[in-house]
Amino acid sequence: MKSTAAANANIALVKYWGKRDSRLILPQNSSISMTCDGLTTKTTVEFSEKYGKDTVLINDEELVKDERDILGHIERIRSMAGIKEKAKVISESNFPVAAGLASSASGFAALTLAAATAAGLKLSEKELTILSRQGSGSSCRSIPEGFVEWHKGIAADGSDSYAESIAGKNHWHDFSMIACIVSEAKKKVSSRAGMAQTVATSPYYDGWLRTVDEDLRKIREGILNKDFSLVGITAEQNCLKMHALMMTTRPSIIYWIPATLEIIHHVQAWREEGIECYFTIDGGPQVKVMCLEKDEKELNKRLLDLEGVKKTVLCKPGDGAQLIGEHLF
């Protein structure tokens, strides 16, 4: 009853922002992302009678109150498997958590696969995405490989809200994403809380929902046809629309810091110079720069030269969640 899984973070090209059901974590709109091979979480789960309570250690820190959703997810899996043993969970990520780099996505994807396997459940990839979604919505996109679409679904029970690959990790190896880490601090407003505020108070939310299906169509088409300009332009605009929602939420949610804007302005300037690149930003200050493989070294060098950039991580389309043999305890 012990298992270890590894899962990569995913960065959305068409964002998910807002739920139609907060208990089952059902989204207001579908989304598309890239599973990133450079941002990885490994998690070991063991269910055993020797444990008197559930314990969770994340990057050598005991579970704190605002991460209680993990304990709820463990209980969900225990209930599905019909077992009573308590769990020990140890998780490690190679990038900052709760800082806008999709750590909850890779974390819950790895936790779901490791815990379900340790509990004796035999689930298909689709079933794993549905289960993982109930812990953290975007984590369902870290279960499949490559470029992934999370279907919003329409069923009240969430049975048709799942994620699947629309193109595998080897489909478009020329596509690169440089994650720029500008702050390792935990964000003050979680994505979960921010979404609820936005849906309730932003005057532009209806406009977001009216335009997102066209963004999905363009990104899907761009990925399948390897049309970098179409993907880059659409993803950048979709990102700006999402942050406009946040900024017009009451009270405003502004994740950007000066270094975020510094990168945005430089990406636009470099594009005018003839180096085709685009940016996208999730719920946090970190900027991800999309480019083609031929430009990644030059862009990475330029990004590291910027005063606000602490480090960069080069990402390619990566593997989905998978079991590994090396346990963390």
Percent of the chain residues past pLDDT 90, beyond the cut: 88
Q: Are residues 11 and 108 in the same domain?
A: yes
State the burial class of residue 111 (Cβ atoms within 10 Å of its Cβ: 0-12, 13-18, 19+).
buried
pLDDT in tens, 138-171: 999 999 999 999 999 999 999 999 999 999 999 9
Q: What is the pLDDT of residues 77-96, one digit of tens each?
A: 999 999 999 999 999 998 76
Question: What pLDDT does 101 receive?
Answer: 57
Percent of the chain with pLDDT over 70: 96
Confidence (pTM): 0.94
Same domain for 200 and 267? yes
179-205 as b/e, with b when 16 or more CB fall inside 10 Å?
bbbbbeeebebebbebbebbbeebeeb
Locate 168 and state its tokens.
Answer: 């595998």
Do 166 and 239 sit in the same domain of this protein? no
Q: Do 183 and 141 reside in the same domain of the chain? A: no
Q: Are residue 31 and residue 148 in the same domain, yes or no?
A: yes
The reply to whether 106 falls in a domain is yes
The pLDDT mean for the chain works out to 94
pLDDT of res. 125? 98
CA dist., res. 223 & res. 10, Å (int): 15
State how far the Cα of 141 lies from the Cα of 130, in Å rounded to an integer.
10
* pLDDT beyond 90 at 203: yes
Which tokens hold the place of 45? 């789960």
Residue 329 lies in a domain: no
Please determine, for residue 240, whether its predicted confidence score (pLDDT) is greater than 80.
Answer: yes
Q: What is the pLDDT of residue 290?
A: 98
CB contact set of 189 (below 8 Å; sequence gap of 6+)? 197, 253, 255
Same-domain pairing of 182 and 289: yes
pLDDT band at residue 63 using 50, 70 and 90 as cut-offs? low
One domain, residues 166 and 198? no
Residue 307 has pLDDT above 70, yes or no: yes
Residue 44 lies in a domain: yes
In a shared domain, residues 224 and 96 = no
Q: Is residue 71 located within the same domain as residue 185?
A: no
Q: What is the pLDDT of residue 241?
A: 98
Closest to 77 in 3D by CA, of 24, 120, 31, 106: 120
How confident is the model at residue 96, as a pLDDT?
A: 67
Prior bond of 144 cis (ω within 30°): no
| 90 three-class SS | strand
How many structural domains comprise the chain? Answer: 2
Q: Tell me, yes or no, whether 117 and 215 share the same domain.
A: no
CATH of the domain at 220: 3.30.70.890
Take residue 215 and report the two structure tokens written for it.
Answer: 């963004």
Q: What is the CATH number of the domain that holds 168?
A: 3.30.230.10
Residues 185 and 165 in one domain: no
152 and 186, same structural domain?
A: no
**DSSP assignments along 116-175, one per residue:** HHHTT----HHHHHHHHHTT-GGGGGGSS-SEEEE-----TTSTT--EEEEE-TTTTTTE
List pLDDT tens digits, range 115-132: 999 999 999 999 999 999
- Contact between residue 238 and residue 15 where contact means Cβ atoms under 8 Å apart: yes
Distance CA 244, CA 241 (A): 5
Q: Which domain holds residue 14?
A: 2-172+319-324
In a domain, residue 203? The reply is yes
C-alpha 94/C-alpha 186 separation (Å) is 15
The residue-averaged pLDDT of 174-203 equals 89
Is the pLDDT at 8 greater than 80, yes or no? Answer: yes
Would residue 23 count as lying in a domain?
yes
Write out the E strands in 49-81.
Answer: 55-58, 61-62
